[in-house]
Amino acid sequence: MKLLVRNLPRSTTEAELKALFEPFGLVQSCSLVMDDESGQSKSFGFVEMPKPGNGKAAMKQLNAKIIAGNKIRVKKAETKTDDTPGSL
């Protein structure tokens, strides 16, 4: 299950993000989205957990949690679809 984590403090590291989710189960991957110009976090990232039940538990427990003064938002990541005209 891929989760979108928004409103993270800019100081959050990938290791801290992973540690936040590990109590709920195995974290397959996590990544912060970084600004190309400044190299700083854009305040959101993605966490992948192989077991959907663990992802749902993490989402329920961590959504609206206050981290370093920021109320984070956790939800299931949307999958991108190809909306190109003429594509099947």
Characterize the bridge pairing of strands 2-6 and 41-48. antiparallel
* 86 within domain boundaries: no
| CATH code of the domain covering residue 37 | 3.30.70.330
Give me the amino acid identity at 31.
S
The pLDDT, as a whole number, for residue 78 is: 87
Q: In terms of residue numbers, what domain contains 21?
A: 2-76
* 85 within domain boundaries: no
* 83 within domain boundaries: no
* 88 within domain boundaries: no
**pLDDT, tens digit, for every residue of 47-83?**
999 999 999 999 999 999 999 999 999 999 987 765 5
* 12 within domain boundaries: yes
* 66 within domain boundaries: yes
Work out the average pLDDT over 16-32. Answer: 97
CB-based contacts of 74, cutoff 8 Å, min separation 6: 3, 4, 5, 6, 58, 59, 62, 63
Query: How much is the pTM?
Result: 0.87
Q: Between the CA atoms of 37, 41, 43 and 44, what dihedral angle is there, to the nearest 10 degrees?
A: 100
